[in-house]
């Protein structure tokens, strides 16, 4: 079959992939895979070489074919591609569940572990342990009727999560705001205003048209002097895909959430877990609900007094009671007054080419790698760039960078696997990653200019990328980010953020797009001082999201339903200090937990932030670019993928278990008083 998804090219042939290729290509691949699985499961006697390695190869092949489809659906969404993507979700879900419920295969893995486990090296034993756990968590030991029920539930979940994301994307793309009064755009940066002017001109309209993409939303609520404009954008953003706001009921995700939570709970109960939170924790670094809740409540006790002081001070500065759409604006004004630093005023000093050059230099100094752009790689959009990483005289990986916001592209930023690493008897593959941002594109006379917040996001996603690209694990199921406990997977990304604040790095990543002059030393010092600005407010917001997510999944009761707004209200009364309008419906667009992989796991950001702050403190003790410390971090954590228990890996690097103190110190928050 001449299908680009099945091509054995070094990289996905993006220009040749069409929606019409998707379902035929995946159908053929999965049929072939099923035949191979039957043959593998029947091999006697089963061994690592005859059973496990061939399945690792198969895993790699299927993941590699599906990756460009999933990616294109996120970054170049169209009706035809969406239809093809959705048609394939049941095929893929059924295949994955059938594979994980394959009893002959499960017994083969058990026999390999029993007969050869003691003779295998640690990584191979870990591969088998992970696989056996996956078999169990997919219901391999269930009676036939329960297996079928579990499969049905997982298929429905896959479709519901895709529907959730589609509703958010459609609601975001459908809203725009037309302005004709110049006073309404006062305070917004000229790039955004120029784009809005050209958008209006293209529609033969006067004035400006602003869209609801993430960088525009953030710019409006942070910088627009017009409270009316801020309110309009906040309302549209906070009510996306809900029963409220300007598009009330059109893409309402409330019934989708109800069904998602119902099916997650049903899946967990089918496997013998009390709730979905317990099911999720089976593969996490944290082991119990109590451990997670104690962790979050400890941080809340530390952060809330600070957040209350910060918000009282902010309202005093504003001179009046603040609405939700005023908070970011007056926070920016207060920060500007206190530290003489504005995110918008920093943009000219952070042109994307300069930031990338400095970021790559950080990776080179820490890990001895060299990163160079390569032209001619097949890409899905003219703005996409391709880079290769070399280390120790060899090519170790590559990544795509898709940096700019545009229509039909999912909001936010992320790193995902394009191709995973493998080193098997059947062949080798070097890892390839997608790095996706949504920053403002270049203007007519200058490159893309970033805020420092954008810079932090880039460093964060690049940290994920290094985790994927610098892996030394040979088996796809544990290479890079695969097989890593979800509450540890953010460690490398949040670790890298520290370098975006470092004085030596700020001098390298900044350079005025006209003069090339780096950010002046006194401005750098003021910028670094902002790191702890409103740290309490920022932390309680993250804790609100984490507690809401975890409680929602831990306390779900089919008799009472999802209780989304009730649980959120209870959490807000516990930890939040900023008033939120009753019509706010942020859960309806909370893709991390309803469409992504963070269900009952949003706490992972804070959990891993503790790990990252503590890990970086080792560099602060020896020097931010100390090569011995960097080599130990690379050897014990970054290169290990899922081949090592995350707590054991951290202890091997740090010499002790993680401590929360480094994170609180980093943000200028006092340690909490012990509970008595």
Residues 10 and 131 in one domain: yes
- Could you give the number of structural domains in the chain? 3
471 in Cβ contact with 443 (< 8 Å): no
Using a 10 angstrom Cβ sphere, with 0-12 exposed, 13-18 middle and 19 or more buried, the burial of residue 120 is middle
Which CATH number is 32's domain given?
1.20.1050.40
- Domain holding 179, by residue range, is 175-238
Residue 348 CA to residue 332 CA, distance in Å, equals 18
Tell me what pLDDT residue 676 has. 40
Residues 125 and 43 in one domain: yes
Residues 110 and 212 in one domain: no
**Consecutive sets of 10 residues in the chain, 676 residues long: mean pLDDT of each?**
89 97 97 98 96 98 98 96 97 96 97 88 96 97 97 97 97 97 95 94 97 95 97 98 97 98 98 98 96 96 96 98 98 95 94 98 97 98 98 95 95 96 96 97 94 97 98 98 96 98 96 96 95 96 98 98 97 96 98 96 96 97 97 98 96 96 89 54
Residue 90, domain member (yes or no): yes
* 390 φ/ψ angles, rounded to the nearest 5 degrees: -120, 145
Residue 522, domain member (yes or no): no
Residues 196 and 121 in one domain: no
Residues 11 and 115 in one domain: yes
Residues 292 and 210 in one domain: no
Residue 640 CA to residue 467 CA, distance in Å, equals 9
Residues 10 and 85 in one domain: yes
Residues 17 and 120 in one domain: yes
Tell me what pLDDT residue 672 has. 63
Residue 488, domain member (yes or no): no
Residues 127 and 219 in one domain: no
Which of 572, 600, 628 is at the close of a domain? 600
Residues 6+ apart with CB under 8 A from 288: 281
Which of 137, 159, 186 is at the close of a domain? 137
Bond preceding residue 45 cis, omega within 30 of 0 = yes
Token representation of residue 112: 């390999």
| DSSP per-residue codes, 591-650 | HHHHTSS-TTTTTHHHHHHHHHHHHHHHHHHH-TT-HHHHHHHIIIIITTTTSS-HHHHH
Q: Over the range 565-583, which residues count as b (16 or more CB within 10 Å of their CB) and which as e? A: eebbeebbebbbbbebeee
* 583 φ/ψ angles, rounded to the nearest 5 degrees: -85, 0
Residue 400, domain member (yes or no): no
Token representation of residue 672: 């909490």
Residue 325, domain member (yes or no): yes
Residue 519 CA to residue 531 CA, distance in Å, equals 17
Tell me what pLDDT residue 607 has. 97
Residue 280 CA to residue 95 CA, distance in Å, equals 21
Residues 38 and 126 in one domain: yes
Helix/strand/coil (H/E/C) assignment for every residue in 263-305: HHHHHHHHCCCCCHHHHHHCCCCCCCHHHHHHHHHHHHHHHHH
Q: Is 427 left (phi over 0), alpha (psi -120 to 50) or beta?
A: left
576 in Cβ contact with 547 (< 8 Å): no
Sign of CA dihedral 103, 108, 111, 117: negative
Residue 529, domain member (yes or no): no
Residue 623 CA to residue 221 CA, distance in Å, equals 38
Q: Over the range 275-303, which residues count as b (16 or more CB within 10 Å of their CB) and which as e? A: bbbbbbbebbbbeebeebbebbbbbbebb
Sign of CA dihedral 188, 193, 196, 200: positive
Which of 577, 600, 623 is at the close of a domain? 600
Residue 609 CA to residue 660 CA, distance in Å, equals 9
Residue 314, domain member (yes or no): yes
Token representation of residue 130: 């992970």
Tell me what pLDDT residue 1 has. 59
Residue 662, domain member (yes or no): no
Q: Which residues are catalytic?
A: 461
Distances (CA, A) of 598 to 168, 391, 411, 602: 17, 33, 17, 5
Residues 6+ apart with CB under 8 A from 178: 200, 205, 207, 208, 209
Own/partner long-range contacts of 260-265 (Cβ < 8 Å, ≥24 apart): 260/157, 260/160, 260/161, 260/164, 260/594, 261/552, 261/553, 261/556, 261/562, 262/556, 262/558, 262/562, 263/153, 263/156, 263/157, 263/160, 264/157, 264/553, 264/556, 264/599, 265/553, 265/556, 265/558
Instruction: Find the angle CA(492)-CA(494)-CA(499) to the nearest 5 degrees.
Output: 95
Helix/strand/coil (H/E/C) assignment for every residue in 481-508: CCCCCCCCCCHHHHHHHHHHCCHHHHHH
Q: Please choose, from the candidates 458, 406, 462, the residue with its C-alpha nearest in 3D space to the C-alpha of residue 437.
A: 458
Residues 211 and 330 in one domain: no
Coil/strand/helix, residue 371: strand
């Amino acid at each position: 079959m001449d299908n680009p998804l099945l091509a054995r090219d070094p990289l996905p042939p993006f220009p040749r992939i069409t929606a019409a290729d998707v379902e035929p290509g995946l159908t053929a691949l999965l049929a072939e895979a099923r035949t191979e699985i039957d043959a593998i499961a029947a091999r006697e006697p089963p061994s690592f070489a005859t059973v496990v390695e061939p399945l690792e190869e198969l895993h790699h092949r299927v993941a590699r074919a599906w990756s460009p489809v999933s990616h294109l659906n996120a970054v170049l969404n169209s009706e035809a591609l969406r239809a093809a993507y959705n048609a394939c979700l049941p095929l893929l879900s059924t295949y994955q569940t059938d594979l994980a419920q394959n009893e002959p295969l499960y017994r083969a893995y058990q026999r390999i572990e029993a007969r050869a486990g003691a003779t295998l090296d640690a990584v191979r034993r870990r591969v088998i342990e992970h696989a056996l756990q996956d078999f169990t968590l997919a219901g391999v030991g269930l009676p036939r009727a329960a297996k079928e029920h579990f499969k049905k539930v997982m298929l429905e979940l896959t479709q519901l999560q895709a529907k959730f994301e589609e509703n958010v994307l459609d609601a975001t793309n459908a809203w725009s705001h037309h302005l004709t009064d110049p006073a309404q755009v006062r305070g917004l940066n000229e790039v955004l205003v120029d784009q809005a002017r050209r958008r209006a001109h293209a529609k033969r309209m006067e004035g400006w048209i602003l869209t609801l993409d993430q960088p525009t939303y953030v710019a409006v609520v942070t910088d627009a002097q017009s409270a009316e404009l801020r309110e309009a954008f906040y309302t549209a953003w906070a009510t996306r895909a809900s029963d409220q706001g300007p598009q009330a009921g059109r893409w309402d995700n409330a019934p989708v959430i109800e069904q998602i939570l119902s099916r997650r709970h049903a899946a967990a109960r089918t496997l013998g877990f009390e709730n979905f939170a317990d099911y999720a924790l089976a593969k996490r670094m944290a082991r119990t609900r109590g451990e997670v809740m104690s962790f979050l409540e400890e941080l809340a006790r530390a952060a809330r007094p600070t957040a209350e002081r910060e918000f009282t001070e902010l309202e005093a500065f504003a001179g009046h009671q603040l609405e939700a759409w005023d908070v970011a604006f007056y926070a920016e004004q207060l920060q500007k007054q206190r530290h003489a630093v504005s995110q918008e005023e920093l943009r000219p000093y952070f042109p994307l080419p300069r930031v990338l050059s400095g970021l790559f230099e950080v990776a080179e100094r820490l890990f001895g790698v060299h990163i160079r752009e390569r032209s001619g790689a097949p890409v899905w959009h003219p703005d996409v760039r391709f880079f290769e990483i070399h280390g120790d005289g060899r090519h170790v990986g590559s990544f795509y960078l898709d940096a700019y916001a545009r229509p039909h592209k999912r909001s936010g930023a992320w790193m995902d696997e394009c191709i995973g690493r493998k080193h098997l008897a059947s062949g080798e593959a070097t890892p390839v990653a997608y790095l996706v941002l949504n920053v403002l594109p270049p203007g007519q006379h200058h490159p893309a200019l970033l805020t420092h917040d954008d810079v932090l996001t880039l460093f964060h996603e690049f940290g994920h990328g290094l985790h994927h690209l610098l892996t030394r694990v040979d088996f796809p199921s544990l290479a890079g980010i695969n097989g890593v406990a979800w509450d540890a997977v953010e460690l490398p990304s949040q670790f890298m953020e520290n370098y975006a604040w470092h004085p030596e790095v700020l001098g390298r990543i900044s350079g005025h797009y006209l003069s090339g002059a780096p950010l002046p030393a006194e401005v750098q010092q003021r910028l670094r001082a902002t790191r702890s600005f409103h740290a309490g407010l920022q932390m309680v917001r993250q804790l609100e999201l984490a507690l809401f997510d975890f409680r929602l999944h831990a306390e779900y009761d089919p008799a009472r339903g999802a209780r989304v707004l009730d649980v959120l209200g209870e959490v807000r009364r516990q930890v939040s200090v900023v008033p939120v309008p009753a019509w706010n419906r942020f859960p309806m667009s909370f893709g991390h937990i309803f469409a992504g992989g963070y269900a009952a796991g949003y706490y992972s950001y804070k959990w891993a932030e503790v790990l990252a702050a503590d890990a970086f403190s080792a560099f602060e003790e020896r020097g931010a670019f100390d090569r011995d410390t960097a080599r130990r971090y690379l050897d014990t954590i970054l290169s290990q993928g899922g081949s090592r228990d995350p707590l054991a890996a951290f202890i091997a690097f740090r010499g002790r278990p993680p401590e929360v103190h480094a994170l609180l110190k980093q943000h200028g928050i006092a340690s909490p008083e012990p509970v008595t």
